[in-house]
Structure 1
Amino acid sequence: MSGNSDPLTPRAKLAVTAGKAVAAASRAAGRGSGSVIGGKVALRLDPDLLARLAQSLDVVLVSATNGKTTTTRLIAEALRAAGPVVSNALGANMPAGITSALAGNSDARYGVIEVDEKYLAGVARDTDPKCIALLNLSRDQLDRAAETRMLAENWREGLAGSKAVVVANADDPLVVWAASSSPNVIWVAAGQMWKDDAWSCPSCGGVMQRPGDDWFCGDCGFRRPTPSWSLSGDHVLDPHGSAWPIHLQLPGRANKANATSSAAVAAVFGVPPQVALERMYQVQAVAGRYDVVQFKERDLRLLLAKNPAGWLETFSLIDPPPTPVILSVNARGADGTDTSWLWDVDYTRLTGHPICVIGDRKLDLAVRLEVANQHFQVCDDIDQAVQLCPPGRIEVIANYTAFQDLRRRVGN
């Protein structure tokens, strides 16, 4: 941490003020939170602003294809045990949104920052993080995201020689390869349900062997490192072998894995696992995800799933059949316009659930469900879908912009 109590130059202060004014104007005009446009204006006025704002903070960066928003929230809650935290809690995770979040809080001691995978190396350069959490890498936004191994290579080069403590998922070969360039890595066994992006060795291209939970390359010897933290059922095992119960209101195995990584990060800052895990219980929903809302006299649980790995994890936590399921898929700019990823999702896991399909690309999804032998109805909108569902709670699974549309309609 910098000893300078006010690292901001007059130019930086002007940039912060201008950014806040633009953000407020954007909010007043009903155009969202304003954090991205405010950050863009601030960075235009002072290109070094992100680095200046980060100087007075102990920074944690969190990056992954899935789970980064939730894990950022869990880490932020855990670190509040040690001091005030500033975080980009709403998920604006590129440099403009991050700058805007940090500019909003001058009293914080810790900065817990979610970073889009493509921007991790640059943001790490600017913010000089004390800790970086790497959770997973899988295919996402096929039309504009780099192929996963290229992203891993970008991480590997960007983190080489970094002073940060890297907390990395030992079960994802792409993450392990990316993190292995760092001199100081803490390995976490957080699990990996989705394996289809890591059948070839990221180091040499050889075929990956996967006996049980282990993995190794038969050609070059690249292999799973021994973890010091791990998820075991409903407990986190720390490096001393002690088991700490996980207390979460968030559902599913994936969130227990997120909590395990978060506990390992908190320990880097001196927060004990018991304290960290108890504080994580405060998190009920993350930007609307997992919220149960009342709509047309029904209970809808809102679940976000943006890519094949995310859909697989989400299917594992929905209530058993015959709970009705509404699926909504869009293909707008923020989603990626290529929907071919739908063919990578195993929709046979929904057998026995009544299914309704909505969203801009409902016909793409309908074709995919037909091939998977699922019974479904195509609906005009969420109102019609809810009316067609049998009684009881409804699980609603949507990708990114479809999820935002749903939240607006059901008043969440």
Structure 2
Amino acid sequence: MAGNSDPLSPRAKLAVTAGKAVAAASRAAGRGSGSVIGGRVALKLDPDLLGRLAQNLDVVLVSATNGKTTTTRLIAEALRAAGPVVSNALGANMPAGITSALAGGSDAKFGVIEVDEKYLAGVARDTAPKCIALLNLSRDQLDRAAETRMLAENWREGLAGSKAVVVANCDDPLVVWAASSSANVIWVAAGQMWKDDAWSCPSCGGVMQRPGDDWFCGECGFRRPTPTWALSGDHVLDPHGSAWPIHLQLPGRANKANAASSAAVAAVFGVPPQVALERMYQVQAVAGRYDVVQFQNRDLRLLLAKNPAGWLETFSLIDPPPAPVILSVNARGADGTDTSWLWDVDYTRLTGHPIFVIGDRKLDLAVRLEVANQHFQVCDDLDQAVQMCPPGRIEVIANYTAFQDLRRRVGN
């Protein structure tokens, strides 16, 4: 690596080479990017490889239930103002995928890494990050993820004693509780639209009071910390009280919140807010999310929504009625096989939109929409749904594997 006084050991180099070869073979066989299988092989050959690859990087870890991939991209763009960046931009966010990404960044100064929330403590231990961004915690993949308070406890224990600067969303009580074990926390008022996972105090179990945008526990005194950074409309307020305009090509309030957190992270590395926010404008789409594609002579906007918090934010940015909406839900391994979360989503927000339903679990979704008194049609596939849509740009909202299916079908 550039400026590396401690080159990789022969074993580590062999692991990197073998991992890249396996990844290339996987790509050639048409089985995706190969980053996960390549990383698994590399870690088998050298279990300490992730730490070795990270030792000469200034590492930023980004974890959350929603917004990880986008925020990782925004931070990476901002930090490129200060030097080369390596990042797992494709979203492979467990140790194997992260190892693969870092193995490809031999001249990088910064490593900007999205981490699955269940792996955060372990990856932080291995990579000795300079900064960790914590955005939110909400229910997700009910069959495999522990409930949210257990995840917060895992973060809290895993980050205790870390030397990292933690940039945390002070509007999410679970994130605040998790971050409070850290010695150096920068609080960002990034907002929280979905509140249904934080009505009880994570510290004592008491009932959380939520007057306006504030929150506190009436029983133990656990309360919202005072932020030094804040999202205010279309601006980021920095610790000096200056307001910096946010210019994004990505839509919605959630992405402005991601930009605010990203600006706070960039400042940790000496990149000023104005420079950071200007660079974030370069990000047009993130792994296909928000892309507008042409399919069957129609404009389709592809939107990813994996859990109730994500659906709520996505509903806030779709075109107004009568814009047609196609909803696609699967329940494969990567989605979580339990679809009971559909009942936590307020589908009455789609009233007035013509709705078309596809995906492996279209009938589960149809029952949910029926109960929400929505008018919808169940279709066999995307092609049929698009043919049935009335005029106008079509908003296509899908969960994780359904989104990948859509991208393949439209050639994105």
- The TM-score, its normalising length taken from structure 2, stands at 0.99
CA distance in structure 2 between the partners assigned to 1:44 and 1:6 by the alignment: 22
- Alpha-carbon offset, residue 4 of structure 1: 3.7
Kindly indicate whether the alpha-carbon contact (under 8 Å) linking 1:11 and 1:45 is maintained by their aligned counterparts in 2.
yes
Match in the other structure for 1:239: 239
Kindly indicate whether the alpha-carbon contact (under 8 Å) linking 1:23 and 1:37 is maintained by their aligned counterparts in 2.
yes
Residues 168-220 of structure 1 show CA distances to partners (whole Å, capped at 9, x for unaligned) of: 00000000000000000000000000000000000000000000000000000
Kindly indicate whether the alpha-carbon contact (under 8 Å) linking 1:134 and 1:168 is maintained by their aligned counterparts in 2.
yes
CA distance in structure 2 between the partners assigned to 1:397 and 1:2 by the alignment: 43
Kindly indicate whether the alpha-carbon contact (under 8 Å) linking 1:42 and 1:49 is maintained by their aligned counterparts in 2.
yes
Match in the other structure for 2:184: 184
CA distance in structure 1 between the partners assigned to 2:228 and 2:411 by the alignment: 43
Kindly indicate whether the alpha-carbon contact (under 8 Å) linking 1:292 and 1:302 is maintained by their aligned counterparts in 2.
yes
What is the number of residues matched between the two proteins?
412
CA distance in structure 2 between the partners assigned to 1:356 and 1:196 by the alignment: 27
Kindly indicate whether the alpha-carbon contact (under 8 Å) linking 1:7 and 1:55 is maintained by their aligned counterparts in 2.
no
CA distance in structure 2 between the partners assigned to 1:305 and 1:104 by the alignment: 29
Residues 64-88 of structure 1 show CA distances to partners (whole Å, capped at 9, x for unaligned) of: 0000000000000000000000000
Aligned ranges for residues 273-292 of structure 1 at < 5 Å? 273-292=273-292
- Alpha-carbon offset, residue 272 of structure 1: 0.1
Kindly indicate whether the alpha-carbon contact (under 8 Å) linking 1:7 and 1:52 is maintained by their aligned counterparts in 2.
no
CA distance in structure 2 between the partners assigned to 1:105 and 1:138 by the alignment: 32
Kindly indicate whether the alpha-carbon contact (under 8 Å) linking 2:323 and 2:353 is maintained by their aligned counterparts in 1.
yes
Match in the other structure for 1:300: 300
Residues 135-165 of structure 1 show CA distances to partners (whole Å, capped at 9, x for unaligned) of: 0000000000011000000000000011000
- Alpha-carbon offset, residue 5 of structure 1: 3.4
Secondary structure of residue in 2 paired with 1:257:
helix
Any runs of at least 4 consecutive aligned residues in structure 1 with deviations exceeding 3 A, and if so which?
1-7
Secondary structure of residue in 1 paired with 2:74:
helix
CA distance in structure 2 between the partners assigned to 1:29 and 1:297 by the alignment: 31
Kindly indicate whether the alpha-carbon contact (under 8 Å) linking 1:5 and 1:56 is maintained by their aligned counterparts in 2.
no
Kindly indicate whether the alpha-carbon contact (under 8 Å) linking 2:38 and 2:100 is maintained by their aligned counterparts in 1.
yes
CA distance in structure 1 between the partners assigned to 2:368 and 2:42 by the alignment: 44
CA distance in structure 1 between the partners assigned to 2:77 and 2:6 by the alignment: 26
Residues 20-63 of structure 1 show CA distances to partners (whole Å, capped at 9, x for unaligned) of: 00000000000000000000000000000000000010000000
- The TM-score, its normalising length taken from structure 1, stands at 0.99
Kindly indicate whether the alpha-carbon contact (under 8 Å) linking 2:2 and 2:107 is maintained by their aligned counterparts in 1.
no
CA distance in structure 1 between the partners assigned to 2:339 and 2:7 by the alignment: 46
- Alpha-carbon offset, residue 411 of structure 1: 0.9
- Alpha-carbon offset, residue 6 of structure 1: 4.2
Kindly indicate whether the alpha-carbon contact (under 8 Å) linking 1:231 and 1:260 is maintained by their aligned counterparts in 2.
yes
Aligned ranges for residues 167-246 of structure 1 at < 5 Å? 167-246=167-246
Secondary structure of residue in 2 paired with 1:282:
coil
- Structure 2 unaligned spans of 5+: none
Secondary structure of residue in 2 paired with 1:39:
helix
- Alpha-carbon offset, residue 392 of structure 1: 1.3
Kindly indicate whether the alpha-carbon contact (under 8 Å) linking 1:141 and 1:335 is maintained by their aligned counterparts in 2.
yes
CA RMSD, 1 decimal: 0.9
Kindly indicate whether the alpha-carbon contact (under 8 Å) linking 1:7 and 1:56 is maintained by their aligned counterparts in 2.
no
Query: Share of identical aligned residues, percent?
Result: 95
Residues 217-260 of structure 1 show CA distances to partners (whole Å, capped at 9, x for unaligned) of: 00000000000000000000000000000010000000000000
Distance 1:185 1:373, change over 3 A: same
Distance 1:59 1:14, change over 3 A: same
Kindly indicate whether the alpha-carbon contact (under 8 Å) linking 2:2 and 2:106 is maintained by their aligned counterparts in 1.
no
2:271 maps to 1:265: no
- Alpha-carbon offset, residue 105 of structure 1: 1.4
- Structure 1 unaligned spans of 5+: none
- Alpha-carbon offset, residue 2 of structure 1: 11
Residues 287-309 of structure 1 show CA distances to partners (whole Å, capped at 9, x for unaligned) of: 00000000000000000000000
- Alpha-carbon offset, residue 3 of structure 1: 6.6
